[in-house]
Chain A
Amino acid sequence: MIETRGVGKTYYSPTAEFQALQDVDIQVSAGEVFGIIGRSGAGKSTLLRTLNLLERPTTGRVLIEGADVTDLDGEPLRRLRQRIGIIFQHFNLLKSRTVHENVRLPLRVSGQLDRAAQDQRVAELLELVGLTRNARKFPHQLSGGERQRVGIARALANRPQILLCDEATSALDPETTQSILELLLEINRKLNLTIVLITHGMDVIRTVADRVAILDHGRVVESGTVVEVFLNPRHEVTRSLLAQSGVESDTATALTPDDSPVVRLTYHGPGSEQALLSRLTRESGLDFAILEASVGHLKAIPYGRFTVRLPPAARDRLPAMLHLAEQIGIRHEILR
């Protein structure tokens, strides 16, 4: 659906040059929610903007639905952009126009519908985002979350197959963020919309994304399904981003300075609803102390992740226990 091949972006100024992106390859399949995460300045926003060519890559190609769009210009570029919706951190609505008029703008731009049909489409969109009653209001009369709903309605006006989200929830409070993310998931399912979103918050990724790419200094340092990346982060940046959202912190081994074995156990997916840990204890006959744990859902996938300490004497019975863990669907990593 969306693909970048070796995309790079360099900014030149008279005195210096800055490589915002280097050799970025991502593939987004139709209908999935693809998250791009990184610290500020990692190049996420630049990468997102190359997808609708608000930023034109210096090197590499951008493919949308298999077609190379990197060099599009003029009318063909405008038509491409009409097929790609985008929402922004600061909403970017016209403050001099009502909600209804803001949402109607893309329809006026594309000019495919007559006035009556435009108004009807706007009504549908406002219904979808739950703002029917606010059609006559001006943006300043709305809350941040409502404004982003207007942004979403506007982005969807021309029935795009792709929606880009540029830090769409970063200016919102946690509760509103949650409701906007739910709305995004809902339209992802209802309209089979492909969503690419960038964020600096892992919580956003784990609520909505199917797959994720971690960006650091303009490069993709790690990517995969969200479950994979969350449960087995390999790159240091990923770990630190996870630590910020409280999923990952490798302080456990440091806290217990002795030679008792410390193991990380993870599981996810169907089967996780069973009492896996107690079964492991029972069948292996080994008791362990849980030092750290994170249990919950990644989008709709249940997962568990535990750092456990076994008695020092259990060292020689460890391989048998880990073998058993493997059999019942628990993955492990020996930390000490």
Chain B
Amino acid sequence: MSTLFETIRSFEYWPEIGDGTVDTLTMTGLSLTFTVLIGLPVGVALFLSGPSQRSERRVTARLQSWTYNALSILVNILRSLPFLILLILMIPTTRWIVGTSLGVAGSIPPLVVAAAPFFARLVENLLREVDRGVFEAFRAMGATTRQTVLWAMLPETFPGLVAAITVTAIALIGYSAMSGVIGGGGLGDLAVRYGYQRFNVPVMVITVAILIVLVQLVQALGDRWVARLSHQH
């Protein structure tokens, strides 16, 4: 009669689960980085061309309106595609970008394309919440748009941005698990291969447990960071 500890230790799938966890973390981390790098400027662009920031000059206002509509439609299209469909649709593009549509590398482009529009909208909404008086004060100071973005918009929304990044990170953990379906690697891949295709319940349960812990961890870290920022002001 072996002890529970020995049973757990002799469980033959630990190495694979370990690799899967590392893969999931890598996918989430890398795709989150690119999502923020792309989504943040797009969100700022959406806000700057949006209805609240229209120029008094007719030509500029028209340019803003076109930019806004183009970006907004693109964002909406990407957000309306179910992730699984996007994953499949993007296979040729993914191959072209990273050379493969499989594994960790292959899942990053679709993850970014799915999450960046979502994050951009979050950023746009955060900026809309900023007191318009602050922007007016900057205009009256003679600040450039660049100065206003860097010194007013980003600092004023920073706690909100951290919260938005947390939400996006959690969404990405979920999406990355889904990419397992088409051989994306990571914990989702494990759950599909062992749990779904081979009825290996322990592997599936452990995988799900790890995902739950990851999400809780990310949320807790995000919350703590936001709380610390909010204490300052």
What residues of chain A have their CB less than 8 Å away from a CB belonging to chain B?
Answer: 52, 54, 56, 77-82, 84, 86, 88, 90-97, 105-106, 108-110, 138-140, 154
Say yes or no for B131: interface residue by CB 8 A criterion.
yes
Bound Cα distance from A106 to B148, whole angstroms: 11
Q: Which 4 A-B pairs have the closest CB atoms?
A: A81-B142, A78-B142, A92-B133, A92-B137
Q: How far is the CB of B229 from chain A (nearest CB, A)?
A: 8
Residues of chain A lying within 8 A (CB to CB) of residue B144: 78, 109
- Mask: chain B, 120-155; 1 = CB below 8 Å from A; 0 = not: 000000000001011011111111100100011001
- Decide: A96 and B56 in contact? CB cutoff 8 A: no
With A90-B133, A108-B151, A109-B147: A95-B140 Cβ-Cβ less than 8 Å: no
Q: How many residues of B contact A (CB 8 A)?
A: 21
- Decide: B56 and A105 in contact? CB cutoff 8 A: no
Say yes or no for B232: interface residue by CB 8 A criterion.
yes
Question: Which residues of B (6-40) have their CB < 8 Å from a CB of A?
Answer: none
Q: How far is the CB of B170 from chain A (nearest CB, A)?
A: 25
Say yes or no for B233: interface residue by CB 8 A criterion.
yes
Give 24 CB contacts A-B under 8 Å: A54-B139, A54-B140, A77-B142, A80-B142, A81-B141, A82-B142, A86-B137, A86-B140, A91-B133, A92-B133, A93-B134, A94-B156, A96-B156, A96-B158, A96-B232, A97-B155, A97-B233, A105-B143, A105-B151, A106-B142, A109-B141, A109-B142, A139-B233, A140-B233
6 additional A-B pairs beyond A81-B139, A109-B138, A109-B147, beta carbons within 8 Å, are: A80-B142, A88-B136, A91-B133, A93-B134, A95-B233, A109-B142
- Decide: A138 and B137 in contact? CB cutoff 8 A: no
Bound Cα distance from A139 to B131, whole angstroms: 14
Q: How far is the CB of B230 from chain A (nearest CB, A)?
A: 10
Q: Which residue in B134, B140, B142 is a CB contact (below 8 Å) of A110?
A: B142
- Decide: A94 and B155 in contact? CB cutoff 8 A: yes
Bound Cα distance from A52 to B139, whole angstroms: 10
Q: How far is the CB of B132 from chain A (nearest CB, A)?
A: 9
Bound Cα distance from A80 to B139, whole angstroms: 11
- Decide: A94 and B152 in contact? CB cutoff 8 A: yes
Residues of chain A lying within 8 A (CB to CB) of residue B136: 54, 88, 92
Residues of chain B lying within 8 A (CB to CB) of residue A78: 142-144
Q: How far is the CB of B162 from chain A (nearest CB, A)?
A: 12
What residues of chain B have their CB less than 8 Å away from a CB belonging to chain A?
Answer: 56, 131, 133-134, 136-144, 147, 151-152, 155-156, 158, 232-233
With A88-B133, A90-B133, A96-B155: A52-B140 Cβ-Cβ less than 8 Å: yes
- Decide: A108 and B142 in contact? CB cutoff 8 A: no
Residues of chain B lying within 8 A (CB to CB) of residue A154: 137
| Central interface residue in B136, B141, B152, B155, by most chain A CB within 10 Å | B141
Q: How far is the CB of A266 from chain B (nearest CB, A)?
A: 40
Residues of chain A lying within 8 A (CB to CB) of residue B134: 92-94
Which residue of the partner chain B has the closest CB to A85? B140
Residues of chain A lying within 8 A (CB to CB) of residue B147: 108-109
- Decide: B232 and A109 in contact? CB cutoff 8 A: no
Q: How far is the CB of B135 from chain A (nearest CB, A)?
A: 9
Bound Cα distance from A140 to B131, whole angstroms: 14
Residues of chain B lying within 8 A (CB to CB) of residue A77: 142
Bound Cα distance from A95 to B155, whole angstroms: 9
Q: How far is the CB of B149 from chain A (nearest CB, A)?
A: 13
Q: How far is the CB of A108 from chain B (nearest CB, A)?
A: 7
Bound Cα distance from A93 to B207, whole angstroms: 48
Bound Cα distance from A138 to B231, whole angstroms: 10
Q: Which residue in B131, B141, B158, B233 is a CB contact (below 8 Å) of A82?
A: B141
Q: Which residue in A79, A90, A95 is a CB contact (below 8 Å) of B142?
A: A79
Q: How far is the CB of B138 from chain A (nearest CB, A)?
A: 8
Residues of chain B lying within 8 A (CB to CB) of residue A93: 134, 137
- Decide: B233 and A92 in contact? CB cutoff 8 A: no
Residues of chain A lying within 8 A (CB to CB) of residue B158: 96
Bound Cα distance from A203 to B42, whole angstroms: 49
Bound Cα distance from A86 to B136, whole angstroms: 10
Which residue of the partner chain B has the closest CB to A108? B151
- Decide: A88 and B137 in contact? CB cutoff 8 A: yes
Bound Cα distance from A332 to B139, whole angstroms: 49
- Decide: B141 and A95 in contact? CB cutoff 8 A: no
Bound Cα distance from A105 to B233, whole angstroms: 17
Q: How far is the CB of B195 from chain A (nearest CB, A)?
A: 46
Which residue of the partner chain B has the closest CB to A110? B142
Bound Cα distance from A70 to B147, whole angstroms: 24
- Decide: A96 and B142 in contact? CB cutoff 8 A: no
Q: How far is the CB of B169 from chain A (nearest CB, A)?
A: 22
- Decide: B233 and A138 in contact? CB cutoff 8 A: yes
Bound Cα distance from A86 to B144, whole angstroms: 17
Which residue of the partner chain A has the closest CB to B148? A109
